[in-house]
A and B are shown apart, each in its own frame.
Chain A
């Protein structure tokens, strides 16, 4: 039922005809794109000073004091034409430094930041000197160093050899979270302070357990007040700027900014503009307090909607413009990573995932006009943040689905599509209530959780399933280093049956998952001891009620989610061994082992490799033989992971997605029986091995549905590439929806589409080995791009650009 207010809104905002970008939006976007990222040292200076002043304090109070120091003293600015204000650094797109989590790598790589190939940051010699001076203070004090000290030598060795990488909290602060933004919009931070004070009043300080609670709640109060003061600084700045502003239009805007920032986030937000500004302060400060990234707004269209609905004054054009301006702001947040990580996380990603649509807590369709406006904002701003996603369920309005497909066609790789039909049951199986499960959003890349009450450490590790297979083939010895890493599970040639092989694989898996859990839990403990986050904790249930920080188990739901990488390579390898060795006896295990050790050298090696590539079934072609093995290979990992618990009182839950870790993880794995050469990238997420998906996207989709996506409740990822021609008209849109729906009906949970562009094809020309599966479908014909000769490739590139 539509209420009269909703009816009025629908009359004001035609979701099928949303406004395009205004001149202001275009201008600010242009200005943003021109900025080259730099390193900003201000935060590092302030946090170091604060830590030096508070060495006698309990850690949670030190964290609050550090946040106060930063927010009270950092440089702030309001850029020309801005309406939504708030900056992370001295310049937009600059990256702050967080020495309290780790800084050794930054010290080592300071001179490389400008020179490295990906994610370059400018930094002057003066700034380098500033950092070099403060780094020594942190020596031995970081969360990273404590975590390392807590790990066992065996687990560190496994990491060093590439069996797994511990997720980014090893080197960074906690992130990967969504807070209760709705609470801030409804009650304001003064409401949060009041709640903390109410809990404080209840404490009985003779009770020894209450002493720690007292510290925590005091820290919460201080942190929230610091954020309120921070907004106040913007209010004062805007008022100052208004006083000297000659243009009366801009003067009025500045006065309005001054008014809004004096009110929010301290007080409940009223108008749409106030709500956006309040939201932005929260989103911003969370990324000043810590650098865990993937601070995800999640169901923004839900909690912001009441403010759009109630705002009678705002026009459709103005509302869209405000939203567009906020979307641009998301892109100003940045983060510097070590050079190794830029290979797994290239392109300055911040993974601020904003999701629209889906069902509400009662199970009814939750789509509203703001859902459409968010998709429009992505189309209007054409930037990479926020990472926009859409939840679909059986009653998703066709118009919203089509709107999403139109955004897909723009070639930004967004939105990502998520499937309510299987994600909700997956979350139920992890103990969420029905209402909470229905209320899920997405963290970072693909990880589902309910916002505002979960500490899910979704980015807990990338676990190299292909390396485990390699170790199985080599009886637990790493062929690259010659060192024993795992238990002896039998010489390959003694594994007489396929079942013996699988049993050995499972044993190795159990061993390495154990080492993974030890490493993850060490990092978790280190954050609880050295860097609990009072502001973040204050906005997540039940931290205030429990009097406990998020890092010590304050959240209502607690998880640890490590990702398995290389499922398809393991599946194809096992399928090849099963078929060609155990069934057809076309080749022996000894021959395979020798060829793998030699990386398929020589004509005989290459001939065997071709047999492995072309005479064995491959996952991704809608053939049960390989698809069933993929299912088994992934389960062997998932079942092991879900056995364990974390220090916050929650469980481990597996995911199957790689971000781009499939490239560095592939580099440490020798040749594999799927015909992959040593060092080549692993397959991406649950996608088939590149080039092995001979049968086209529909077959891949059907294969992917054979995996168990419900057990992989930390998220799975399927990337699909389409030529723009495939999406060119309304039939193209309906085809895209048909592919998504078939995947989702069959049990897939995520898909995103990359529309091939000229850059992709140029890259495919330069690195054909990475694009063997790239099919171009030009009207009436399709072919593997890399198999075409150059002149024809050039034709296709020019057609791709022109969309025909």
Chain B
């Protein structure tokens, strides 16, 4: 998606006078699968996990990053002339190569400004709480009519705890419905204060087995499951979300264990099976990273239905797609 024009040109972080500033990668208006009603998602950049199937790989690192979309490049050469570090070179008739090691982001960003074709974009803007909420407020009428609101996602929103707290608090003060979409991998001390300002928690449970979880995401799941119990104890409505990745976490055993865990909790509104898709795959390439799941095909609908059927006896409502 594209940031609105006013945020489109990258500007290095301005000097701040105490006000919390967050690193936002994008907004997505008319989001209809991430919490109730019509919502705007605010993507906060930076995440401690390294999930192999990540569909927002541009949101992993907690700093602005260059993305290069070769298909958009028209070979105009403007970026080459502009780069103060001379780290961009021609690469083929219609392309460039960027030496990221030599690049002076986050201070620079000059190439993005002259790349009219949006072949070079910079993911990550430093925005204040008011700037974010001004954007969120644009769709207020839609939220009011559909029971929607704002969803803070990422990346891992709790990876910017101070900013997230300020955002959630200010959003609630403006009467917005708030949700967070989290991996649950954060210190409970930073999670707890935010909870008071949330209406819904969308909580990923990627694997029940600690080893497998570590292998697939780079981190252990003990803290995640502990935090989920704590969120539940607060009485907040939870949607447990399982990204259903073929061959990685879609075994019957894991799904049953996940459902059993969800069933032990008191405030799980639903367990959402999110069928794997590959729409984020191109972004791995734009970041010059290898996609670990290259060639993995999504489930057919019947397979997803069959997997959901495994959980039929569960007291928790199971949905496909959320």
Contacts and interface: CB of A to CB of B under 8 A. Distances in A.
B138 A738 contact: no
Contact of B321 (A618, A725, A741, A782): A725
A562 to B, nearest CB: 33
Contacts of B55: 780-781
Given A603-B76, A739-B142, A742-B142, A780 B33 contact: yes
B138 A737 contact: no
A745 B141 contact: yes
A22 interface: no
B282 A780 contact: no
A253 interface: no
A310 to B, nearest CB: 39
Contacts of B281: 789, 792
A411 interface: no
A622 B138 CA distance: 8
A607 B277 contact: no
A607 B142 contact: no
B274 interface: yes
Contacts of A735: 32, 37-38, 146, 148
Contact of A696 (B29, B147, B280, B282): B29
Contacts of B322: 779-780
Interface stretch (A104-112, A222-230, A726-734): A726-734
Among A617, A694, A738, A796, chain B packs the most CB atoms within 10 A around the CB of: A738
Contacts of B29: 695-696, 698-699
B304 interface: yes
Among B33, B274, B300, B304, chain A packs the most CB atoms within 10 A around the CB of: B33
A782 B146 contact: no
B301 interface: yes
B4 A778 contact: no
A701 to B, nearest CB: 8
B75 A783 contact: no
Contacts of A725: 33, 321
B11 interface: no
A623 interface: yes
Contacts of A787: 71, 282
Nearest to A608: B116
A798 B284 CA distance: 23
Given A606-B76, A738-B38, A795-B298, A699 B142 contact: no
Interface string B188-206: 0000000000000000000
Contact of A742 (B32, B145, B298, B304): B145
Contacts of A137: none
Contacts of B5: 617-618, 621, 623
Given A779-B321, A804-B301, A731 B279 contact: no
Given A732-B32, A780-B33, A782-B28, A699 B138 contact: yes
A614 interface: yes
A782 B1 contact: yes
Contacts of A795: 277-278, 297-298
A310 B55 CA distance: 61
Contacts of A622: 4, 138
A789 B38 CA distance: 28
Could you say which interface size class chain A belongs to? 35 or more
Interface string B279-301: 11110000000000000011011
Given A606-B74, A698-B38, A734-B37, A611 B304 contact: no
Given A623-B4, A698-B142, A738-B145, A603 B75 contact: yes
B220 interface: no
A777 B32 contact: yes
A799 B279 CA distance: 12
Interface in B116-148: 116-118, 138-139, 141-142, 145-148
A777 B33 CA distance: 9
A290 B3 CA distance: 53
B32 A607 contact: no
A603 B74 CA distance: 7
A34 interface: no
Among A604, A696, A699, A725, chain B packs the most CB atoms within 10 A around the CB of: A696
Contacts of B321: 725, 728, 779-780, 804
B78 interface: yes
B320 interface: yes
Given A696-B29, A726-B32, A783-B279, A607 B4 contact: no
A643 interface: no
Contact of A731 (B30, B36, B117, B282): B36
B141 A742 contact: yes
A795 B8 CA distance: 30
Nearest to A700: B30
Contacts of A697: 30
Given A614-B116, A780-B322, A741 B145 contact: yes
Summarize A's interface: helix, strand, loop or mixed: helix
A791 interface: yes
A614 B277 contact: no
Interface string A590-632: 0000000000000110110011011101100111000000000
A694 B116 contact: no
A603 B78 CA distance: 11
Nearest to B298: A795
Among A613, A694, A781, A788, chain B packs the most CB atoms within 10 A around the CB of: A781
Interface string B27-58: 01111111011100000000000000001000
A123 B68 CA distance: 56
Interface in A339-396: none
Contacts of A741: 145
Contact of B30 (A618, A698, A781, A802): A698
A804 B321 CA distance: 7
Among A614, A725, A791, chain B packs the most CB atoms within 10 A around the CB of: A614
Given A698-B38, A699-B29, A780-B322, A607 B76 contact: yes
B2 A694 contact: yes
A335 interface: no
A368 B304 CA distance: 42
Interface string B255-267: 0000000000000
Interface in A137-184: none
B184 interface: no
Given A622-B138, A780-B322, A696 B28 contact: yes
A804 to B, nearest CB: 6
A184 B5 CA distance: 58
Given A788-B279, A802-B301, A731 B141 contact: no
A63 interface: no
B263 to A, nearest CB: 23
B275 interface: yes
Contacts of A617: 5
A421 interface: no
A702 interface: yes
Given A696-B30, A732-B32, A734-B37, A792 B146 contact: no
A772 to B, nearest CB: 12
A51 B116 CA distance: 65
A696 B28 CA distance: 8
B279 A781 contact: yes
Contacts of A781: 55, 277, 279-280
Contacts of A623: 4-6
B32 A788 contact: no
B140 to A, nearest CB: 10
Sorted nearest first, the 4 A-B pairs with minimum C-beta distance are A738-B145, A738-B146, A610-B116, A779-B321
Given A610-B76, A696-B28, A798-B300, 4 more contacts: A610-B117, A694-B2, A778-B277, A789-B282
30 contacts: A603-B74, A603-B76, A606-B74, A606-B117, A607-B78, A607-B116, A613-B116, A617-B5, A621-B5, A623-B4, A698-B29, A699-B30, A699-B139, A702-B138, A731-B32, A731-B36, A734-B37, A734-B146, A735-B32, A742-B141, A742-B142, A778-B279, A779-B274, A779-B322, A780-B33, A780-B34, A780-B55, A781-B280, A782-B1, A788-B282
